[in-house]
Amino acid sequence: MTVPGSANILIVDDQPRNARWVEKALGQLQQRIVAAGSGAEALQHAATEEFAVILLDVVMPGMDGYETAARLRQQERSRYTPIVYLTATQPAEDEVLKGYDLGAVDYLIKPLLPEILRSKVAVFVELFLKREEVKRQGELLLEAERQEVRRKLAEERFAWEARRLAEDVRKERQLAGEMARRNEELALAIRYCEETEGRLRESEGRLRVLSRQLLKAQEAERRRLVCELHDEIGQLFGALKLELYNLQRIPPEQVPAQLAECVALVDRATQQVRQLSVDLRPPMLDEFGLVPAVRWYLERLGQRAGFSGQLAVADGFGRLGPELEITCFRIIQESLTNVIRYAGARTVGVELRRDGPELLLAVRDDGAGFDVGAAHERSLHRGSIGLLGMQERAQLVGGQLEVESAVGRGTTIRARFPLAPAEVPAAAAAKEEGMA
Ligand SMILES: Nc1ncnc2c1ncn2[C@@H]1O[C@H](COP(=O)(O)OP(=O)(O)OP(=O)(O)O)[C@@H](O)[C@H]1O
Ligand SMILES: [Mg+2]
């Protein structure tokens, strides 16, 4: 074992006395001295420890100094350790050469002067110590370099982890943002579903009320028809029968007058039947389309109820599909019935307009107006079907209807319907043009 700043010196000599002398002579150097009594022992020491120099006796029993030197050179640890031969006789030249061949650096002839031995060994010790110092410095440098590399690696790893962490944080934030957006969308969808469900429930309720009211209205309509048939047409035919019966009994000169009475009664009955069928469904609607039917209806009602009716419609409006035409006509019919019953209006305007893929319908009056919310509530409880029915009719063909009114400010019924291009056949449009 080598202590830093100190060197080991190996003395190989079979004579303990010689070894002790050398030990004493080198004592001043204050280095560790190891003594080996044979070549084999020397090989063992040199295999386990570093030596600054080996002082090797040439003449030894068994393995002599040269063989020991040769084997020391074969061992890894002592391959380059300086060997100094100690010999009692001046060796022959070839022996000296052999010794140098085997790696010796010097020959010392016994007896020696202790100063000479010390100064020679001191040179090897110094060399060894310097080499050790250089080795130690090299190791320190290597360690420093290793530490620098480790530090840089740690720095790079830290920077990489920081980047990864920042990236993770960015992704998490992005994810959180995305999730918040999805949550908002979900909340919106839920709200929309709830609203739709509410509207659906409301609509179901309205439909129930409406179908009940429709049944009632149907019955009322039947009663009206029966009354009409019984009271008006029935009466006319009764009178006609009486007049015809009288024909047999009156003097012949009164027959022409009696017959004229009968013809007049038949004319009135025909008129009544026509009126009834027109009320049920104006034939004009099927034959000429919505615009002429509305124009005719508005004029007729205006004359009857005393308001001025105006129809605003663009030239060449053309025809619509039969379902949409009857829907519009019934909405206008119900609106005008309400105008007559409640509004006391002086003017009533009906507007029909195409707006891109939509049809817009408006019925305006300048009459009394009313509180729409209150009327709606009343309709649900009292069983009115006018406004509710209009709304349902509009929705059945994919449209929407709204009522705008305020007390003293007139009323406007507005509806919009989706239009299909096929709802305007060119031929029907041309026919309607001819009518107008
Ligand atoms: N143009 C209008 N001017 C003034 N009030 C109106 C007008 N249209 C409707 N109203 C008011 O709205 C209420 C509801 O009308 P709606 O047509 O739904 O029912 P109704 O006419 O009373 O009964 P139904 O139509 O079933 O015979 C009416 O009772 C009336 O008070
Ligand atoms: Mg009504």
Inside any domain, residue 99 = yes
Whose atoms come closest to the Cα of 385: which ligand? 1
Q: How far is the CA of 139 from the centre of ligand 2 (A)?
A: 109
- Alpha-carbon span 272 to 229, nearest angstrom: 9
**pTM assigned to the model:** 0.52
Q: Which is higher by pLDDT, 369 or 205?
A: 369
Which residue among 112, 147, 165 closes a domain? 112
Closest residue by Cα to atom 16, ligand 1, is 386
pLDDT score at 384? 79
pLDDT value at 435 more than 70 = no
pLDDT score at 414? 98
Inside any domain, residue 391 = yes
Inside any domain, residue 219 = no
Inside any domain, residue 142 = no
**pLDDT tens per residue across span 103-139:** 788 888 888 889 999 999 999 999 999 998 998 999 9
Per the structure, the complete domain to which residue 332 belongs is given by 282-435
CA distances from 104 to 64, 80, 97, 190 (A): 14, 10, 9, 100
pLDDT value at 322 more than 80 = yes
Beta bridge partners of 313: 352
Which residue among 94, 112, 130 closes a domain? 112
Inside any domain, residue 141 = no
Number of domains in the chain: 2
Inside any domain, residue 80 = yes
What phi and psi values does residue 415 have, to the nearest 5 degrees? Answer: -140, 150
Pocket perturbation via mutation, ligand 1, pick of 339, 364, 384 by most ligand atoms within 8 A of CB: 384
pLDDT score at 165? 93
pLDDT score at 434? 43
CATH number at residue 37: 3.40.50.2300
Q: How far is the CA of 379 from the centre of ligand 2 (A)?
A: 10
Low-confidence winner among 54-58, 211-215, 347-351, 376-380 (lowest mean pLDDT): 211-215
Inside any domain, residue 384 = yes
Which residue among 112, 130, 164 closes a domain? 112
% of the chain surpassing 70 pLDDT = 96
pLDDT score at 3? 53
pLDDT score at 432? 47
Q: How far is the CA of 387 from the centre of ligand 1 (A)?
A: 7
Q: Which is higher by pLDDT, 306 or 231?
A: 306
pLDDT score at 427? 39
Whose atoms come closest to the Cα of 345: which ligand? 1
Across all residues in the chain, what is the average pLDDT?
A: 89
- Give me the DSSP letters along 221-250: HHHHHHHIIIIIIIHHHHHHHHHHHHHTTS
Pocket perturbation via mutation, ligand 1, pick of 301, 307, 338 by most ligand atoms within 8 A of CB: 338
% of the chain surpassing 90 pLDDT = 61
**pLDDT tens per residue across span 60-70:** 999 999 999 99
Contacts (Cβ under 8 Å, ≥6 apart) of 373: none
pLDDT score at 400? 96
List the beta strands (DSSP E) in 37-170: 53-57, 83-87, 104-109
Dihedral sign (CA 74, 75, 79, 81): negative
pLDDT score at 145? 93
Q: Do 369 and 378 touch, CB atoms closer than 8 A?
A: no
- Alpha-carbon span 153 to 345, nearest angstrom: 93
Dihedral sign (CA 276, 306, 324, 203): negative
- Alpha-carbon span 40 to 61, nearest angstrom: 11
pLDDT score at 430? 46
pLDDT value at 75 more than 90 = yes
Inside any domain, residue 420 = yes
pLDDT score at 433? 47
pLDDT score at 423? 64
Confidence of residue 428 (pLDDT cuts 50, 70, 90): very low
Pocket perturbation via mutation, ligand 1, pick of 307, 331, 370 by most ligand atoms within 8 A of CB: 370
Q: How far is the CA of 341 from the centre of ligand 2 (A)?
A: 8
CATH number at residue 353: 3.30.565.10
Whose atoms come closest to the Cα of 336: which ligand? 1
Q: How far is the CA of 294 from the centre of ligand 1 (A)?
A: 20
Whose atoms come closest to the Cα of 369: which ligand? 1
Q: How far is the CA of 339 from the centre of ligand 1 (A)?
A: 8
Confidence of residue 396 (pLDDT cuts 50, 70, 90): confident
pLDDT score at 234? 87
Residues with CB under 6 A from ligand 1: 338-339, 342-343, 365, 367-370, 375, 379, 384-387, 411
Q: How far is the CA of 193 from the centre of ligand 1 (A)?
A: 32
pLDDT value at 263 more than 90 = yes
